[in-house]
Amino acid sequence: MRSLLTAIREHDDAAGFLAWPGDFDLDRGDHVEDVHLASGAVLEGFAGDGAGGTYFFCGDGGEERPVLYADSEGGAALIAIGLPELLRLLLVAPWWRGCQAFTADESRELATEYLTDIPDLAVRRDHAATALGLDLPTEGDVLARLHQVATEMSKDFTLIFTPEDKPYDPLIKD
């Protein structure tokens, strides 16, 4: 099976869309703080955003591993089970951090700002998805899945600020 990380690096359309509006950069995998998972499972930073947030693979394995996102303000959440699910989220709702209700209506409202600056957003998104070989779910489905993963599947993925042995705050609450 083809590596999605490699595919992103090989396809300018995909890398460009994920960089903006996705705010996902494979060259920013180092987190600003020393952290670990409370469970002791492996934690591997593999990408980041412009505000100092980091995407981590959790546990052993490849791109199918759960993905935890930690911001630079002490918040974290399990946001996807595997890289394909994360990329679908970033392609369909790159403004996911602004979602509080996790609905398609809320997502469309947030998209309005992006569409002002990027009128061809849907075309660019579709080109990126094609380059990565991903089918895209609806906004409602991708946001419902984000909420489900973050609230129902996250108990074993508590991120700890190592120097103080203090857990990060949940980014997404039930």
Per-residue pLDDT, averaged over 57-79, amounts to: 97
For residue range 149-173, list pLDDT tens digits in order: 999 999 889 999 999 999 999 999 8
Q: What is the rounded CA–CA span in Å between residue 57 and residue 85?
A: 12
The pTM for the full model equals: 0.96
For residue range 117-155, list pLDDT tens digits in order: 999 999 999 999 999 999 999 999 999 999 999 999 998
Contact (CB, 8 A) for 157 and 63: no
The conformation of residue 25, written as its DSSP 8-state character, comes to B
Q: How many helices (H) and strands (E) does the chain have?
A: 6, 8
Helices of type H across the chain: 4-10, 12-19, 83-92, 104-117, 121-132, 139-152
Per-residue pLDDT, averaged over 5-14, amounts to: 96
Q: Which three-class secondary structure state does DSSP give residue 140?
A: helix
